[in-house]
Amino acid sequence: EPEVTQTPSHQVTQMGQEVILRCVPISNHLYFYWYRQILGQKVEFLVSFYNNEISEKSEIFDDQFSVERPDGSNFTLKIRSTKLEDSAMYFCASKERGWTDTQYFGPGTRLTVL
């Protein structure tokens, strides 16, 4: 069964460093998302991406964040200058079609900022 994959599973970085989190969505899916979950808190929406552009972004997704689909399979989230408060689980999700289709989530990348 097709699934969303994410690498790395755990990333440790120093404050101020740049990180790139990678995702491979399900192959025939058209809509892509990043969410994050700070330990003990709810899953929060960061950004949605369709047709090679951002569809919507949350207040969390400031100028330090960017997303890219560099080729036909990968979807990346870049944090330019990490802060301690960026420490969280980051989940990639994808879905096949519009409004009410199900979003399928990857296993997550645990980002630890020291």
> Which residue, 16 or 75, is less far from other proteins as judged by CB?
75
> Which residue, 61 or 86, is less far from other proteins as judged by CB?
61
> Which residue, 14 or 42, is less far from other proteins as judged by CB?
42
Contact residues for other proteins, defined by CB under 8 A: 4, 6, 31, 33, 35, 41-45, 48, 50, 55-56, 58, 89, 91, 95, 98-100, 102-108, 110
Q: What is the 3-state secondary structure (H, E, C) of the chain?
A: CCCCEEECCEEEECCCCCEEEEEECCCCCCEEEEEEECCCCCCEEEEEEECCEEEEECCCCCCCEEEECCCCCCEEEEECCCCHHHCEEEEEEEECCCCCCCCEECCCEEEEEC
CB of 15 to other proteins, least distance (A): 23
CB of 93 to other proteins, least distance (A): 8
CB of 16 to other proteins, least distance (A): 27
